C-alpha cells in the first residue's frame, strides 16, 4: 500500500498544481492563525495539497473520536510537512528517496544525517531535509510561536508505529498514510 500511495503522491508533481480552492482557504482560515497560514502557504503546492488531504482524513477520523482535541490535531495535519519548505524536493528526488529507502534505508539515513551543513540545493542537503523535515518543521513552528501541543503531534508523524500508540498518534499517522481511523481505533 505504501508504494501505491507514493505513486499517487508522485502524480501531484507531474500535473500543474491547482490553485487552492475556496474550501481549502476556508479550512486554513478555520484552523490556522495568520503566522501559521503563512508557513503553510510557503510550502510547495504538492505539499500543500498533501497536507490538506491529511487534514481532511484527520477530520473523518475525528468524527469517530469526539474525545480527541480537534484544533491541535488539524493544525498538526496542515503543518506536518513545513520542514520541506524551500528545499525544492522534486518528483525525481522523492522517487529516488522512496525507492532507495526500500533497498538501503540505513545508507540513505547515514548520508542524510551528515548533510546538515551541506550547501542548500545540493543532493546531500536535499537528503538531509527529507530525512529531518519533521524536526526542521517543529523548529520552524516553535520559532513562529506555535503551541507545543501542535509540535508534539507533528513529531508523531516521524515516529514508528507501536501497538500501544495513543489515539492522536494513530489518527495523524493514519491520515498521513491515507487511512481513516474508525470507531474501533
State CA 56 to chain mean position distance.
13
Contact 50, 81 (CB under 8 A): yes
Q: pLDDT-based confidence at 56, cuts 50/70/90?
A: very high
Q: pLDDT-based confidence at 184, cuts 50/70/90?
A: confident
Cell readout for 100 is 532507495
Residues written for the chain: 185
- Angle formed by the axes of helices 45-64 and 34-41, to 10°? 130
Give me the pLDDT at residue 73, please: 98
| pLDDT over 70, % of the chain | 90
Instruction: Name all domains of the chain by residue range, CATH numbers in brackets.
Output: 2-176 (1.10.3210)
Q: pLDDT-based confidence at 86, cuts 50/70/90?
A: confident
149-179 as b/e, with b when 16 or more CB fall inside 10 Å? Answer: ebbebbbbbbeeeeeeeebbbbbbbbbbebb
Q: How far apart are CA 126 and CA 90, in angstroms?
A: 10
Give the mean model confidence (pLDDT) for residues 42-64.
95
Contact 51, 43 (CB under 8 A): yes
Residues 8, 11, 16, CA angle at the centre, nearest 5°?
145
- Angle formed by the axes of helices 70-79 and 167-176, to 10°? 30
Pairwise pLDDT comparison (87 vs 142), residue with the higher score: 142
Pairwise pLDDT comparison (15 vs 161), residue with the higher score: 161
Rg of the chain over Cα atoms, rounded to whole angstroms, equals: 16
Give me the pLDDT at residue 129, please: 96
Give me the pLDDT at residue 1, please: 46
Amino acid at each position: 500500500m505504501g508504494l501505491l500511495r507514493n505513486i499517487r503522491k508522485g502524480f501531484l508533481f507531474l500535473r500543474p498544481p491547482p490553485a487552492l480552492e475556496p474550501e481549502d482557504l476556508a479550512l486554513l482560515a478555520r484552523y490556522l492563525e495568520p503566522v501559521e497560514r503563512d508557513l503553510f502557504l510557503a510550502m510547495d503546492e504538492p505539499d500543500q495539497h498533501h497536507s490538506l488531504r491529511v487534514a481532511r482524513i484527520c477530520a473523518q477520523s475525528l468524527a469517530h473520536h469526539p474525545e480527541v482535541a480537534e484544533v491541535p490535531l488539524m493544525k498538526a495535519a496542515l503543518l506536518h510537512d513545513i520542514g520541506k519548505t524551500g528545499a525544492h524536493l522534486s518528483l525525481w528526488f522523492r522517487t529516488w528517496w522512496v525507492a532507495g529507502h526500500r533497498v538501503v534505508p540505513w545508507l540513505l539515513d547515514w548520508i542524510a544525517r551528515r548533510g546538515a551543513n551541506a550547501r542548500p540545493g545540493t543532493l546531500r542537503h536535499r537528503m538531509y531535509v527529507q530525512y529531518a523535515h519533521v524536526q526542521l518543521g517543529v523548529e520552524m513552528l516553535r520559532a513562529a510561536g506555535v503551541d507545543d501541543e501542535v509540535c508534539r503531534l507533528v513529531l508523531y508523524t516521524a515516529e514508528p508505529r507501536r501497538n500501544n500508540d495513543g489515539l492522536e498518534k494513530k489518527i495523524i499517522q493514519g491520515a498521513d498514510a491515507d487511512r481513516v481511523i474508525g470507531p474501533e481505533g
